[in-house]
A and B are shown apart, each in its own frame.
Chain A
Amino acid sequence: MLNEILSALQSVATLQNLLIMIAGIWGGVIVGAIPGMTGTMAVTLALPFTFYMDPVPSILLLVALYKGSTYGGSVSAILIKTPGTASAACTALDGYPLAQQGKAGKALNMALYSSVIGDFISNLSLIFFAAPLAILALRIGPPEFFMLMLFALTTVAGVSGNSLLLGLVSAALGLLLATVGEDMYGSFRFAFTPDMQAGLSIAPVLIGLFALPELIKLVVMRVAKKEKAATLGAQHVTREEFMGSLRSILKGSVIGSVLGAIPGIGPSSAAFFSYGEAQRSSKRGSNFGKGELEGIAASESANNGACGATMIPLLALGVPGDVITGVMLGAFMIQGLTPGPLLFQTNMHEVYMLLIGMLISSVLLFFAGKATMRMFAKVSYIPQTLLTPLVLLLCIFGIYSIASSTFDVAVLLVMGVVGFGMFLLNIPAAPFLIAFILGPMLEENLRRAMAISRGDPSVLLSTPITWIFAALIVFALGFTLRREIRKTKTERQVAQ
């Protein structure tokens, strides 16, 4: 095992890989720092470029973008009170008041230190827990896989957006779109044109769904935010300030690692949970929301702490925990690697390379963040009216270059319109994407299970593992419904 780790370390620690990771982290921080641009967008925009790279560097680039954008979200949250990503919303609560007090640099530094520590701990959890989980997963067959994927889908549908019902509708739309093309027995489904016989590629669907609706919103609604960025001011975090927040950083890192590993939870929920916990347990809890460094530490350590952990279900089970890991699942598959338990048997070298690369990228995040803090402060000031058309341009060139297909460009544009329609109807996009990616595997496992059982549907509840997943599905649905009923009651009381 040591030999394999050393060999993987040797393969990762090349100048090319280090440059790729630095570029990914920088790119991620820049995109994350721009309000309206998300980590998902950063990863999806980079996807076409990874087609020409080897598998591990391409995944490392996407992971670096993910980490960079999660930290980058805090830059605009602190400087202009506009979180670049949803997971940085808590950071704005204390970051912006600090910026107004002339301590923006201090807030950005604390966000960076907390992000790096959270990220490092999260990567360690990935290294320790992914392999055992994968070994356990090797014992499961098609019925168990079907139930597992159904569970992941239900959870994502439940936690995305404001309504379980609309999350499920979105998932159903994604499942339906995934059936376009040739099925496992050679029948063509919904092949309206010859191009559609091969099915819809993942890249144009997901890029269209996540990147283009922002442009359409800007053209149709014409709401471009123009905030004045604060100056960096006081920069250094003192030893006392850091030690005073260390407990919350460690606690946030653990919260992020645990919640990130559960499909459907993701960095945003982890950040809110950690912030609430830090506020409850801190001596300076009453100061939270008024410019408290510990608040930033709690939020940032948790949201970056969830980054590595979201890779646990992806690598071990082949189940993406959130949208970004959904995109990465697509990237893995495009590169000929199938995440799941078999990956740990067939591509162990690549897995070690990935894990080591992720640890290295935590360290690079620190240096990249430090070196370019002043530049990032200016990035959050780029007008959206120029930025979003640039995104469109990159999307079109990137998508065309993947398969030299104008049809894919058409799919990209159509999915942008579909994404905008879903936004208007308040239907969340995340379950759609996860369902679109998981759909073929979900169907294949269902059909295999039915074929094995000679058409008996009770095979889906025939083993203890399937019962556990069925119970988890019922629990997830029940929990979400309870939350929604409570929310409706509160809204009614407020209205009365």
Chain B
Amino acid sequence: MSDISTQVMSNSGTEETSTKGLMKVIMASSVGTLIEWYDFYIYGAMATTIAKQFFPQDNPTAAFLAALATFAAGFVVRPFGALVFGRIGDLIGRKYTFLLTLLLMGGSTFAIGLIPGYAKIGIWAPILILLLRFVQGLALGGEYGGAATYVAEHSPVKRRGYYTAYIQTTATLGFFLSLGVILTTRKVMGVEAFNDWGWRLPFIVSIFLIAISVYIRLRMAESPLFAKIKKEGKISANPLKESFAHKTNLKMVLLALFAAVMGQGVVWYTGQFYAQTFIERTLSIEFEQVRYLLCIAILAVTPFFLVFGAWSDKIGRKTIMMGGMLLAILTYRPIYKAMYHLADPKAKTEIAENSSVSKAVAVAATGDSTITTTTVKAFTDGSSSKVVKKETILADKSKPAPKAETTKTFWLSSFGFWMMTLFVFIQILYVTMVYGPIAAFLVELFPTRIRYTSMSLPYHIGNGIFGGLTPFIATRLVDASKTTENPGGDPYVGLWYPILIASVCFVLGMLFLPSKNDENVMD
């Protein structure tokens, strides 16, 4: 079995071979990290389906919020994972730590695919889901810092931003992979079977992906810098104490969190996740159209992680990260208004002859009847909408009538689809600006002996908490703005959360962050 890191070290005599060896290190690290992100995000990508399977259905908003809360739970424990596994990584090494996180992540994702629904085991279903989300969050908290540190510690000084940007692409590509697997499964088995049990397959598939990744990672050797300080007996005896009890280092942890990662986190999760929530829930765009447009936007924008990572080696990390944050702050509201306009039936002209209203009545054995009214509308720009209203009339008139259920679906026109894709692309482009250089930025901020612990904590508070809670908080803000006069609420009010957080971070970053990169990570 050949050893990837040893190749890098021993072949460092020539630029060409060391670059080749380095690419092997990057690929070996990235595949595992990508699969961990896949595992983490399939839950988010199927939040609506999961809400129906594992949570009480009396109130769909409550079910959706509960599912989002469970999704958020995965994010909230990430800083604890960063502490636990960061410490292990600084004590025993990078390689075995992120092998362990990979196994934990794969095992818990596989188990989610096997849990019976709420209808079968009642309250145990959401409890088990919550516990497994905790394990996923802990594992992810330990993974990213290890992978970024591992790659950075192999990279040449002037190309650190570029090479670590490969690790940065994994989060977006992991999300892409999760969407791709979901779409393919749904297409192959049909919508009904997918909603019934097929949604479990993307979770179960994870076990095979993890097996491949474990095989690749077993071939990796320890990071050369960590191996060097271990040989010299310079390993930290207590990384947690050194990272957070020493003022000089704690200051840098706080700086990293409030002046960089906090804003980066909200920009990332707004572009990639709140955009999806907004398109799917507020605009009611059809399931497959949403996933197709997200996949296209993600695939088109991914190379920009490398572009901005490489650029940050030349002009500095700060300029690019702060530039991305400022663009997001200034343009989020116009972008979301334009997105809303694309799917607003009130702004369109209806073609009366292609529109229809149909009614169907079904009577159950109990005597209760369900009236289903389907209203289909076609518009001159090629878009269309369908509203299905289900009203139940109880045979027993003394009981209160249940609330009518309304489901709206909107199909974008071809032009609307591509414009919507462009708006998502722009938002993820901001993500590439703020996220592409951040691994190199964090690695350069801390010394080798406590790097894993020190960089992981601010990263996971910024991304896991400030970022990860973005869809949860923004959806809650929109719900809170609903009134009797305006039952739909203010669709843009949720954006104030990322805008305000990114604004504070931008001011802090401009004031406090150094403009030049620290070239020395060999300490």
Q: Are A and B physically bound partners? A: no
Binding site for B on A (CB under 8 A): none
